[in-house]
Structure 1
Amino acid sequence: MVAVNKHGIVLEKRNLDFEIEGVLNPAVILEDGQIHMYYRAVAKGNRSTIGYCRFDANDPLTVVERYDQPLVDSEYEYESHGVEDPRIVKIDDVYYISYCAYDGTNAFGAVATSTDGKKFSKRGIIVPQVRGDKFREWLHFNGNINLKYYRLNMDNNYVWDKNVIFFPRRIFGQLFFLHRIKPGIQIACANKLSEFNNDFWKDYIQNIEDYIVLDPKFEHELSYIGNGAPPIETDKGWLIIYHGVHDTVSGYMYTACAALLDLENPGKEIARLPYALFKPEEDWELQGYVNNVCFPSGTALINDTLYIYYGAADERIACASVSISELLEELLNNITI
């Protein structure tokens, strides 16, 4: 088992309108000795924006600056009920912040870009916008596909496609990102964002078995899984920290999980922990706006220590840490190829 240090809560909601209901699920990027955090802030009515705060890498648990207004807010109809659960990477000197655009009914992965990390330009929805009946029509039945792809996308509303996370560099000149159509994690790539259009996604869904990276496998992730923090490039492969969900007598439990993907072929799983990296155990993880939730969404690697920032019970932000060398060694003891 990998040793995990839980450092406790690092950010809580304040009595400000835009975050009075909670702060959670942050994007994190480490640059020039500073940890920049872009967090989901929830106002009354479950309407989310993205707030900003900053930590010094010498003390990754203490906030040194925090804005009193949202950094990113809703602008368009497709995100009219909120911008949720951001992740951030920097590719070719451009920041890509991916987030869930929620209109009150539908949830889609969207992206905004910036050259300074403060002023973002919306680039729109980049995942498929397809209703359940059309999604099932495009799916080719294959005995190797988890039947939950059919069962969990049964109604005729739009299929929810969330948890978009970009790889932090181009691979063979292309932009790669992971996304989540329940119950698993899929991968997509193109030369530029505009290529993720309707024709692209129709062909993609018709061949979705070629793009599934991870599906639920172990007990702690049996209900479904989803992306967490952006992939971390190591000499052993792309390390991904994701979330696994399983049903309990008191409802769903969200746990933090880890896997390793091939460096040259990031759609290929190399290894996966057969147990949760960490799970809800503390009061502030067990009780909140949504109980029993550890939702990892951002990391900062400082020397050998990987700090994992996560939403705790959908109400506050906490941090845990592991030795990345120990984690990689444990993963390589659980090869799946």
Structure 2
Amino acid sequence: MRNYQLRRLSEQPILKTSDVKPATEGFDVLGAFNPAACLVGDEVILLLRVAEAPRAEKGFISIPLIEEQNGILTLTIKHFTEPDEDYDPRVVTIHGKQYLTSLSHLRLARSRDGIHFDIDEKPFLFPARMDESYGIEDARITFLEGKYWITYTAVSEHGPGVGLAVTTDFRDVERVGMILPPPNKDVALFPARINGTYRLLHRPMVSDIGKPSVWLAESTDGIHWGNHQFLFGGRGLTDPRFAWEGAKIGAGPEPILTDEGWLVCYHGADPTHAYSLALALLDKDDPSIVLDRSEAPLLTPERVWEREGFFPNVVFANGWIQWPDQEPAMSSDAGELSRSGKIWVYYGAADSGVGLAELITVDASNQ
């Protein structure tokens, strides 16, 4: 495996929460982060996770969610007295039931240079099923067989599962439905069939038995998945050198095929819930074979805007693009950055913005 590094291309976030307008009247945007990414012609497309909540009232928590009323799915708001004790800013338990404090949807952003984005004012995908009643989160995009396959975390009171939608133009979109039931998330679909079948990476959520891990599955139609296999897990539970991936682990964007094999970006979290980014390499003909993994994280939360935000100390990638060897025409404000053949990684920072880094290779003999 080549010696990879992630190099920030900007010392500031390229997108901030304040750049995004709320889609619902009376709501505030709490975070715009964790974008899926792809190239469509000469445009970079991001699908931002946008978390919104009703404007806060002192002493109360207002919970937005989708409920069925008279057979119609409706956005509703539940009001509760704020707990006296400290609670997670993202999730709260009231009367024995867990709620998310915000409702997430997917928002489309477009750019000609990959740096300066125009953000739609309305959602691209908004919760529209009861298995999405707590929100839609953290999409991945894979271009496969002439379509853009969008996998995302669909959250409800029953837990997080994996939804699928498809589009050809990012204007019209077809919801396929839930392809992996709760509790599961972090699905990255491979961009080609392997030995005749579709493949994806996913992350079952474990409880008392087992440990955080990435799994592999296959399908003949892209909807019904089986032959689930453990692929790799966090090494921090048994080796303190890998504490950075000891508490959580999950796949990031779609794998990229290289001469060496399938390159996989993944995230790990330590026991303090600080998130980092790393790489794994899978065999190109049999991705159940792990050829190599990062010995240390390639990106950790170091900048103030990566360490402070709605959920602090997070760098989380579920979107990257590989520029073609022949660069498309760029807008005049694209700057002097070289793009030809480069891999750019778009990552969420502290659940509050988006950073941009470039995946580069370094000759180890010159270090």
- With the shorter chain as reference, the TM-score category is 0.7 to 0.9
**How many residues align structurally?**
280
1:212 to 230, 235, 257: 230
1:187 is aligned to: 216
1:10 equivalenced with 2:14 (yes/no): yes
TM-score by length of 2: 0.72
2: CA distance between counterparts of 1:78 and 1:185?
Answer: 23
Structure 1 residue runs of 4 or more that deviate by more than 4 Å after TM superposition: none
2: CA distance between counterparts of 1:68 and 1:288?
Answer: 23
**TM-aligned CA deviation for residue 160 of structure 1:** 1.9
2: CA distance between counterparts of 1:95 and 1:118?
Answer: 12
**TM-aligned CA deviation for residue 258 of structure 1:** 0.7
**Structure 2 counterparts to residues 19-168 of structure 1, below 5 A:** 20-44=29-53, 45-56=101-112, 59-63=113-117, 65-127=118-180, 129=181, 160-168=183-191
2: CA distance between counterparts of 1:171 and 1:27?
Answer: 23
1: CA distance between counterparts of 2:21 and 2:42?
Answer: 29
Preserved CA contact (<8 Å) 2:107 2:124: yes
2:288 is aligned to: 267
Q: Deviations along 1:227-267, whole A, 9 cap, x unmatched?
A: 111101111111111101111xxx21100111111100112
**Structure 2 counterparts to residues 318-333 of structure 1, below 5 A:** 318-323=355-360, 325-326=361-362
**Structure 2 counterparts to residues 276-295 of structure 1, below 5 A:** 276-295=297-316
Preserved CA contact (<8 Å) 2:22 2:121: no
1: CA distance between counterparts of 2:137 and 2:5?
Answer: 30
SS in 2 for 1:100: strand
Q: Which runs of 5 or more structure 1 residues have no equivalent in the other structure?
A: 130-158, 331-337
Q: Which runs of 5 or more structure 2 residues have no equivalent in the other structure?
A: 54-100, 206-211, 236-241, 324-339
Q: Deviations along 1:298-325, whole A, 9 cap, x unmatched?
A: 11123342211111001111111121x4
1:314 is aligned to: 351
Preserved CA contact (<8 Å) 2:313 2:350: yes
Aligned-partner residue type, residue 32 of structure 2: V
% identical aligned pairs: 28
Q: Which moved more, 1:27-36 or 1:276-285?
A: 27-36
Aligned-partner residue type, residue 155 of structure 2: Y
**TM-aligned CA deviation for residue 5 of structure 1:** 2.2
SS in 2 for 1:62: coil
SS in 2 for 1:179: strand
TM-score by length of 1: 0.79
2: CA distance between counterparts of 1:12 and 1:176?
Answer: 34
1: CA distance between counterparts of 2:320 and 2:186?
Answer: 15
Aligned-partner residue type, residue 246 of structure 2: L
Aligned-partner residue type, residue 322 of structure 1: L
Aligned-partner residue type, residue 246 of structure 1: D
SS in 1 for 2:285: coil
**TM-aligned CA deviation for residue 194 of structure 1:** 4.0
Higher strand share: 2
1: CA distance between counterparts of 2:45 and 2:306?
Answer: 23
1:171 equivalenced with 2:194 (yes/no): yes
SS in 2 for 1:220: helix
Q: Deviations along 1:21-80, whole A, 9 cap, x unmatched?
A: 110111100132321111101110410010011122xx32221x3211111111110001
1: CA distance between counterparts of 2:224 and 2:299?
Answer: 37
